Structure 1
């Protein structure tokens, strides 16, 4: 097995494992005892902000790794997720979750754009689409719980 193939499998495994706090938080927000539901929603929000910030770091690293035209723009765009995530934690939890959801959609849109996907293997973009889709669905699940 080639090292590249092994790296791909590890990335998929870790990416999917990174969904566990989103899924657990979403499920606990509905079915845990009430005190745990509150904790689950806040834990979900905090984890969401951390992961959104991490996605900016992916583009920061890509821009620094290989000199390309447009890297300055990519470095600036790489800061956007953190600048969305941090203030989202300062809002009430419902507003914050909406802001985080929009942040995931925005950075996901950039990831699949011509500029955003430059330098990444095709399998990475598939992984990002799967992860962003699940994350978005679980944000909606938690937001639906907060509405009820």
Structure 2
């Protein structure tokens, strides 16, 4: 199997782009629930928002894990593997703290770190540039949702 990352053709990522934007719905739903003051099946808006945020953060870091596993020649392979685990654990700790005022700011910073790290570590394969542009835009929107939820909780 060829592991040279420079031999991958461009890929149509429209489905993945749509799924990334659709992934904003639970964040917006949590904000609306908090604003209107209701829970869903006994789940508070804070828990829903925090849990979904931690899951999405883990999902984003799973891409780093996959890059480390599948791109043997990647110059940041070991850093990607270690950071994928570290950031996922930060998300898990934030989830455990969901009732505190620290959970959402921690997740907000973690999403900011993901955008920052991806720009520097380049985990994406060539030909997937559009998806990672979309992923960055959606991550900034997720960060804005975190700021709005934090304001609603104050």
Q: Which moved more, 1:10-19 or 1:90-99?
A: 90-99
Ranges in structure 1 where 5+ consecutive residues have no aligned partner: none
Structure 1 position 53, deviation (Å): 0.9
**Greater share of residues in helix:** 1
Partner of 2:7: none
Say whether the 8 Å CA contact 1:45–1:93 is kept in structure 2: no
Say whether the 8 Å CA contact 1:55–1:81 is kept in structure 2: no
TM-score, structure 2 as length reference: 0.83
Aligned partner of 1:82 among 85, 88, 102: 88
CA distance in 2, matches of 1:145, 1:118: 35
CA distance in 1, matches of 2:83, 2:20: 22
Runs of 4+ in 1 over 6 A off after TM superposition: none
- Higher relative CO (CA 8 A, sep ≥ 6), structure 1 or 2? 2
The alignment's C-alpha RMSD in Å is 2.0
Which deviations, in whole Å up to 9, do the C-alpha atoms of 1:39-63 show, x marking residues without a partner?
1221011000111111111110011
User: Number of matched residues?
Assistant: 141
Partner of 1:144: 151
Aligned partner of 2:118 among 111, 115, 127: 111
Residue 38 (structure 2) pairs with residue 59 (structure 1): no
Residue 133 (structure 2) pairs with residue 131 (structure 1): no
TM-score, structure 1 as length reference: 0.86
Could you say what secondary structure the match of 2:96 adopts? Answer: coil
Partner of 2:109: 102
Partner of 1:10: 15
